């Protein structure tokens, strides 16, 4: 009797014009410990790079022994890139690592073990620490205990898209990333948070696993960089709120209400550089998303009306 086929973990790395960081990430992935009962592939989704990204992939590919592929996607957007990588991969487990993330040597062992031991597990995310202590403490997850996703707030504070692994069947049930959201879109973020929330609402089991450990080499150190990233996060969250409130989700109505309520308390805190920016950005994302949806609906109704008139005219002529 033939031995069972190894579980394949597809590692998707989406990148755009960060060849140096990508090379470091790929070297760390190449050096991962591979469990005996699993294998992996790496798909680099090059999201329109104009730097040496193709050369980096070509030079390092032989050291992966056929496990590395590069796909070029010109249309910008992290969510689109992630969806493109998923469509091209073959693994029963689909993982996402950012191009500025360095996974710990046992990362693949942990991912394979978690899904092998729990057949009900839908997705896991893990610990994210800074690679360079001089960087601002942003885009990290530092919990040391295992935590089950169990509330709306966890969509933004618990799991994170730069260190994520998903069972393929979950994606086939609930879909993957919304191309309207995420880095590279008009809203700047929340593509991963929207996915986490939709999966949780669909009854999927999502868990934060601290042993799934990476270091984040994001390189942001200035107040200007902090404000830019903060704006993307908050505008994206406003768009996320709008998306689900427009669908009649009362839990999201409550979440947005309490966030704005907290903003009122910090408006006069002179030590907080976000005190007045946060509610403005949140409402900006909410209103822009709402207007985008309304515009699409009007265009769709206009096309339907035009098509209907054309059909009537043709029918009358006949």
Looking up tokens 């043709």, which residue turns up?
314
Q: 235-263: buried (b, 16+ CB within 10 Å) or exposed (e) per residue? A: bbbbbbbbbbbeeebeebeebbeebeeeb
Residue 278 pLDDT > 50, yes or no?
yes
What's residue 34's pLDDT? 97
Structure-token pair, residue 32: 């991962």
Residue 247 pLDDT > 50, yes or no?
yes
What's residue 301's pLDDT? 85
Query: CATH fold of 7-216, please?
Result: Spore Coat Polysaccharide Biosynthesis Protein SpsA; Chain A (3.90.550)
Residue 31 pLDDT > 70, yes or no?
yes
How far is the C-alpha of 314 from the C-alpha of 299, rounded, in Å?
23
Residue 312 pLDDT > 50, yes or no?
no
What's residue 2's pLDDT? 42
DSSP string, 69-98: EEEE--S--HHHHHHHHHHH---SEEEEE-
Number of Cβ atoms within 10 Å of the Cβ of 291: 11
Residue 263 pLDDT > 90, yes or no?
no
Beta pairing, strands 68-72 & 101-103: unpaired
Mean pLDDT along residues 113-131: 97
What's residue 300's pLDDT? 86
The 10s digit of each residue's pLDDT in 42-79 is 999 999 999 999 999 999 999 999 999 999 999 999 99
The residues spanned by each domain of the chain are 7-216, 223-299
Residue 274 pLDDT > 80, yes or no?
no
- Cβ 174 vs Cβ 199: under 8 Å: yes
Q: What angle do CA 13, 50, 94 make, to 5 degrees?
A: 10
DSSP string, the chain: -PPPPPEEEEEEEEESS-HHHHHHHHHHHHT----TTEEEEEEEEE-S--SSHHHHHHHHGGGGTT-EEEEE--S--HHHHHHHHHHH---SEEEEE-TTEEE-TTHHHHHHHHHHH-TTEEEEEEEEEESSTTS-S-S-B---S-EE--STTHHHHT--TTEEEEEHHHHHHH-S--TTSSTTSSS-S-HHHHHHHHHHHTT-EEEEEEEEEEEE-----SHHHHHHHHHHHHHHHHHHHHHHHHTT-HHHHHHHHHHHHHHHHHTT-TT-TTTTHHHHHHHHHHHHHHHHHHHHHHHHHHHHHHHHHHHHHHHHH-
Q: Which of 71-85, 192-206, 264-278 has the lowest mean pLDDT?
A: 264-278
Q: 68-93: buried (b, 16+ CB within 10 Å) or exposed (e) per residue? A: bbbbebeeebbbbbbbbbbeebebeb
Which of the four pLDDT bands, split at 50, 70 and 90, describes residue 268? low
What's residue 314's pLDDT? 36
Mean pLDDT along residues 134-143: 95
Q: What is the pTM of this model?
A: 0.91
Residue 26 pLDDT > 60, yes or no?
yes
What's residue 313's pLDDT? 37
- Cβ 193 vs Cβ 206: under 8 Å: no
Mean pLDDT along residues 144-154: 97
Residue 316 pLDDT > 70, yes or no?
no
What's residue 210's pLDDT? 98
Mean pLDDT along residues 106-111: 98
Mean pLDDT of the chain: 93
Residue 23 pLDDT > 50, yes or no?
yes
Residue by residue, what is the 3-state secondary structure of 40-52?
EEEEEEECCCCCC
Residue 149 pLDDT > 70, yes or no?
yes
Which of the four pLDDT bands, split at 50, 70 and 90, describes residue 89? very high
- Cβ 45 vs Cβ 81: under 8 Å: yes
Question: Between residues 288 and 271, which one has the greater pLDDT?
Answer: 288
Residue 125 pLDDT > 90, yes or no?
yes
The 10s digit of each residue's pLDDT in 200-240 is 999 999 999 999 999 999 999 998 999 999 999 999 999 99
The 10s digit of each residue's pLDDT in 155-187 is 999 999 999 999 999 999 999 999 999 999 999
């Amino acid at each position: 009797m033939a031995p069972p086929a190894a579980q394949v973990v597809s590692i998707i790395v989406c990148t755009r014009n960060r060849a140096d960081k990508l090379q470091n990430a790929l070297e760390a992935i190449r050096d991962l410990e591979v469990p005996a009962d699993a294998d992996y592939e790496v798909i680099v989704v090059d999201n329109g790079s104009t730097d040496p990204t193709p050369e980096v992939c070509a030079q390092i590919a032989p050291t992966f022994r056929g496990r590395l592929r590069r796909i070029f996607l010109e249309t910008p957007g992290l969510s689109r890139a992630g969806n493109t990588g998923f469509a091209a991969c073959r693994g029963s487990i689909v993982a996402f690592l950012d191009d500025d993330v360095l996974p710990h040597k046992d990362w693949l062992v942990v991912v394979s073990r978690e899904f092998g031991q729990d057949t009900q597990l839908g997705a896991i995310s893990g610990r994210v620490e800074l690679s360079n202590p001089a960087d601002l403490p942003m885009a990290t997850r530092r919990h040391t205990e295992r935590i089950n996703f169990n509330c709306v707030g966890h969509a933004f504070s618990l799991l994170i898209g730069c260190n994520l692994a998903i069972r393929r069947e979950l994606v086939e049930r609930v879909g993957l990333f919304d191309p309207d959201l995420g880095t590279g879109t008009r809203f700047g973020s929340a593509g991963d948070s929207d996915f986490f929330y939709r999966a949780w609402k669909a009854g999927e089991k999502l868990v934060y696993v601290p042993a799934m450990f990476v270091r984040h080499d994001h390189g942001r150190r200035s107040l200007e960089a902090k404000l830019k990233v903060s704006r993307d996060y908050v505008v994206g969250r406003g768009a996320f709120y709008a998306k689900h409130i427009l669908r009649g989700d009362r839990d999201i109505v409550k979440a947005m209400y309490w966030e704005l309520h907290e903003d009122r308390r910090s408006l006069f805190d002179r030590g907080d550089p976000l005190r007045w920016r946060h509610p403005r950005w949140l409402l900006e994302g909410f209103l822009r998303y709402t207007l985008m949806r309304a515009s699409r609906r009007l265009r769709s109704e206009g096309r339907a009306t035009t098509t209907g008139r054309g059909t009537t005219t043709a029918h009358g002529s006949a």
